[in-house]
Amino acid sequence: MYGAPKVGKTTMLSQLDDCLIIDTEKGTHMLEAYVQEVNNREELIQTLKDAMEGHEFKYIAIDTIDKVVEWAEKAVCEEYEVASIADLTFGKGYALAREKVMNTINAFRDVCEHLIIVGHRKVARAVVDGKALVEPESLDITGKLKNLIMSDCDAIGYVLREDDKLMISFKADESIEAGSRCEHLRGQHIEFDWKNIYKTTKGEK
């Protein structure tokens, strides 16, 4: 899920039972929740190793994926002794960073029943024929990696506020990138309640 800063994404995670929040941006200090704060890629990998040894959580949330991407790019730069991943020819730096991020996501997904990825919102702008156009709001990650992450998720929810209600939209349109493979979420624009997202009735997915 993704949305504007301070809209309430992390607060909602704190309200989900049996959820471990992996906090990469020190955004949980004021919340009562199960939290593992990580400050770099090394601590993230150690958290993964600990999770592989066993844990009691049904859900794990990476909050946010943006930092995981930043750390992966930094790791590639250190390994190849370059200032930027763009300095590696033929897009090799970007490919290596993508691989590290996707490996991290897949590894965490293997150690829990449900993995939740939280990201920032990006409003992309483009100019066509001299006219400024606004592309759909999307996950604030550039290039192929954004597409890989979003296509790998069972559901992509855009979090927003409407009046006094926190909403989550799985309905894609010209202004929002969203969607779901889950039948009960497909095309839905609903109040953000975990009961609406994770069905617990027998036979429901």
User: Got the DSSP string for 97-151?
Assistant: HHHHHHHHHHHHHTTSSEEEEEEEEEEEEEEETTEEEEEEEEES--HHHHHHHHH
pLDDT top residue among 203 and 79: 79
pLDDT at 151: 93
Q: Is the pLDDT of residue 152 over 90?
A: yes
In a domain? residue 83:
yes
Please report which confidence band the pLDDT of residue 124 belongs to, taking 50, 70 and 90 as the band edges. Answer: low
pLDDT at 108: 97
In a domain? residue 202:
no
In a domain? residue 114:
yes
pLDDT at 122: 77
In a domain? residue 204:
no
d(CA 193, CA 166): 9
pLDDT in tens, 62-85: 999 999 999 999 999 999 999 999
In a domain? residue 33:
yes
In a domain? residue 41:
yes
DSSP code of 172?
Answer: -
Q: Which two tokens stand for residue 95?
A: 């490919």
Whole-number average pLDDT of the chain: 90
d(CA 140, CA 134): 14
In a domain? residue 159:
yes
- Rounded to two decimals, what is the model's pTM? 0.88
In a domain? residue 40:
yes
170 Cβ neighbours under 8 A, 6+ residues apart: 155, 156, 157, 158, 178, 179, 180, 185, 186, 187, 188, 189, 190
What's 12's domain CATH number? 3.40.50.300
d(CA 48, CA 115): 13
DSSP code of 171?
Answer: -
List the domain range (segments joined by +) for residue 64.
Answer: 2-197
How many separate domains does the chain show? 1
